[in-house]
Amino acid sequence: MSVEFLLCLGSLFVLAGIGVPVAYAILVSAIIYVGAGGQGIGIVGKNLLDGLYQSFLLLAVPLFIVAANIMNAGTISDRLLGFCVAVVGRFRGGLGHVNIMASLIFSGMSGSAVADAAGIGRIIIDMMRKDGRFPPGYAAAVTAASATIGPIIPPSIPMVLYALVSNASIGYLFLGGILPGLVMGAVLMGMNAWLAHRRGFAVEAPVPLRALPRKTANAFPALLMPAILLYGIYGGVTTPTEAAAVAAFYALVLAALFYRALSLRAFYGILVESARSSAAVGLVIGGALILNYIVASENIPNLLAGWLVAIDVQPLVFLLCVNLLLLVLGCFLDATTIILVIIPLFLPTCQNLGIDLVHFGVIAVVNCMIGLITPPYGILLFVINAVTGISLREIIAEVWPFLGVLVAALLVMILVPGIVLFLPRLAGYEG
């Protein structure tokens, strides 16, 4: 490990520690690395631009962001909520179940946990708080926990980023996320039901069954989006990036023409907000591409892989240790940084130990999503605090039971790879 690399790491940790945004900290530390090594500073810009412009897959990220923002802007969220209330609102703690079910459905449209929490999540929190049905902190905690499902069930922006660094099939990654997403929804509903009975939360007035067909018809066009995406990818009609474009176009047609709930002014605002979000993600991606170049130049992944193989570590032990490390890092780093900077270090070891990259990718993304609600960083906690005004203290106090069952679900996915690989293998995956 060279002196230049130690300088790079040291400057990165110092800058990040004093509050400099991670993307800028990476760029500055990369410049320090090439400067200390006597290389031309232009190599930083070259690697950044080459990585961004040579990856067609990266176009899927802003397109999925646009689709999510359009879904949040129209009446689509309201129609989905009406459908969820009709199906599961009749049980004790019903609005908590509605919250989780809405996240399961909306995850098939947005691919973003933040979009889920800030959009449809904010609406459900207001419903749950009305007339004191649920404590504000509890409503926010359920919303944050259920929003973690968003990037697990396809489409998924984090899985697109993982596919970028691992060369794993994005199609099989999407398929591999379906059952884990459903497992996460099931354990969250189980915990919500247990807490609702224990704390005596109110039972909502049930929606008559005769109204269910009408509620389903209202939401049906929106419910079609995941099916259209999956058919496009697995039917050989579109690439994943083209499927993202189809998703954005379908959301636009649905909101503007079918539901007539999107004005030109609102559409302009969506494009501006989507551009800002995409630029923020792009900066992190660009910085990570440069840092990955530095790490590859130092041969760190192969050295790590060789060392782990030499000490004869077992694949299961390796998986458990890596996931424990990711859980700890998730308390302090955002998911994009972990996927683009940390996870590539372990990919050569996975290949040497015979660990399936689709299985590893899905559980890594699940792990990163759990990090989004893990104090003290937990970005979803801050997002919900910002959009609802509910104090962080209240949210954190209520989130622990949901965090616990999600970690338990992650452990099951690690121990039983078939949960992740069942659907990909049905589709012909041989991993």
Residue for token pair 């995409």? 278
Question: What distance, in Å, lies between the first and last C-alpha atoms of the chain?
Answer: 34
> What integer pLDDT is reported at residue 360 of this predicted model?
96
Residue type, 304: L
> What integer pLDDT is reported at residue 117 of this predicted model?
67
pLDDT higher than 80, residue 283: no
> What integer pLDDT is reported at residue 51 of this predicted model?
64
> What integer pLDDT is reported at residue 116 of this predicted model?
65
> What integer pLDDT is reported at residue 53 of this predicted model?
65
Q: Is 203 helix (H, G, I), strand (E, B) or coil?
A: strand
Instruction: Compute the average pLDDT of residues 402-414.
Output: 96
User: How far is residue 281's CA from residue 278's CA, in Å, rounded to a whole number?
Assistant: 5
> What integer pLDDT is reported at residue 361 of this predicted model?
95
User: How far is residue 184's CA from residue 408's CA, in Å, rounded to a whole number?
Assistant: 10
Q: What is the mean pLDDT of the chain?
A: 82
Q: Is 88 helix (H, G, I), strand (E, B) or coil?
A: helix
Instruction: Compute the average pLDDT of residues 116-142.
Output: 78
Percentage of residues of the chain with pLDDT beyond 70: 89
DSSP structural state of residue 209: G
Instruction: Compute the average pLDDT of residues 270-297.
Output: 78
Handedness of CA 178, 184, 190, 196 (dihedral sign): negative
Instruction: Compute the average pLDDT of residues 376-399.
Output: 83
Q: Would you put residue 378 in left (φ > 0), alpha (ψ -120 to 50) or beta? A: left
Instruction: Compute the average pLDDT of residues 109-116.
Output: 62
pLDDT higher than 70, residue 108: no
Residue range 299-344, pLDDT digits in tens? 776 776 677 667 777 889 999 999 988 888 887 777 888 888 889 8
Nearest to 343 by CA among 163, 212, 172, 117: 163
> What integer pLDDT is reported at residue 9 of this predicted model?
78
Relative orientation angle of helices 60-73 and 240-253, to the nearest 10 degrees: 20
The residues spanned by each domain of the chain are: 41-426
Residue range 192-229, pLDDT digits in tens? 999 988 988 877 777 777 777 887 787 787 777 777 77
Output 128 or 367, whichever has higher pLDDT: 367
pLDDT-derived band at 115, boundaries 50, 70, 90:
low
pLDDT-derived band at 112, boundaries 50, 70, 90:
low
pLDDT-derived band at 119, boundaries 50, 70, 90:
low
Residue range 46-93, pLDDT digits in tens? 766 666 666 666 777 788 778 777 776 656 777 777 777 787 777 777
Instruction: Compute the average pLDDT of residues 113-126.
Output: 69
Q: Nearest-5° angle of CA 70, CA 280, CA 396?
A: 80
Rg (CA), the chain: 22
pLDDT higher than 80, residue 363: yes
pLDDT higher than 90, residue 371: no
Q: Minimum mean pLDDT among 10-14, 75-79, 145-149: which range?
A: 75-79
Instruction: Compute the average pLDDT of residues 91-106.
Output: 80
> What integer pLDDT is reported at residue 413 of this predicted model?
96
Instruction: Compute the average pLDDT of residues 32-53.
Output: 72
Percentage of residues of the chain with pLDDT beyond 90: 19
pLDDT higher than 80, residue 242: yes
Output 132 or 86, whichever has higher pLDDT: 86
pLDDT higher than 70, residue 107: no
Q: Give me the phi and psi of 429, to 5 degrees please.
A: -70, 135
Tokens coding 350: 């996975």
